[in-house]
Amino acid sequence: MSEIHLSQLLKLEKIENGIYRGQSWDLGFKALFGGQVMGQALAAAQNTVEGKGIVHSYHSYFLLPGNAEHPVVYTVENLRDGRSFASRRVKAVQHGRIIFSMVASFQVPEEGFNHQHVTMPAVPHPDELPSQMDTLQLKFDKLPQTVQEKIKYHEPLEKRVVEVFDADENSDTDAALRYVWMRVKEPLKDDHNLHQSLLAYASDYYFLMTAVQPHEDKIGNNSLQVASIDHAMWFHQPFNFNEWILYCMESPYAGGARGLVRGQIFNEKGQLLASTMQEGLIRQIDKSKKS
């Protein structure tokens, strides 16, 4: 795999009005990374809303696993074009089957009331933390082959993990929390749509596994089936993804083979940039019952 440039990943080929094709990149997994589908679907919707506002929220469902070896076709349906708001429905299709759907809402910027009743956690600055690559290299030989292959490639995002759960150490297994600093590696141009769709891409990193974190000691030799079911995101204010952002993730509940996670994204000044929420499948598979 060559170096991944996220801006290229979101450059969609226009097939005809409302229909786009996006290339897939294998990040070391068999299935298509959910963040790629979200980022490309949002980019497809943005392509049809030029001059009619910027996205403030989207709600999406993952319907079928995607194949990272094949491109994805995105069809965009115009649900509404109002004076202040516009809505688009996007379907992601592979091999004639819908694998993902999204409804995104756009708003023409305007002034309004403002408050922020949440504070960014007090965490070390990313300059004080090792990179994700440095952390993984310390245990490289113990990692699964697929993960080893993945970290050999150039990561498109620079990530600094504040708290890492480690089953080999005395970690706090009750803390369903993750804090991760992120920024893009390649310099991005000043394009609000591009920064938003890239943040949608990044919002799927680490997210659902936050709900697994308190139960690592119960997995043992069993394996897990983990998959996103839905994902929602709200964009609160403009931001620059060339600069560090802090992704704060927590899981308030897990049960019924599902986990719920929610996230808040801050800039270095502590301003809330975006909020996320996701429910996903977390199914424990008992290998001893297999014949």
Query: Which residues are tagged catalytic?
Result: 204, 228, 278
**Which residues are within 8 A (CB) of 79 and not within 5 positions of it... i.e. 6 or more apart?**
87, 88, 89, 103
Q: Distance between CA 57 and CA 138 in Å, rounded?
A: 39
DSSP run (H or E) holding 149: helix 145-152
Give the span between the Cα atoms of 51 and 47, in whole angstroms. 10
| DSSP assignment of 227-280 | EEEEEEEEE-S---TTS-EEEEEEEEEEETTEEEEEEEEEETT--EEEEEEEEE
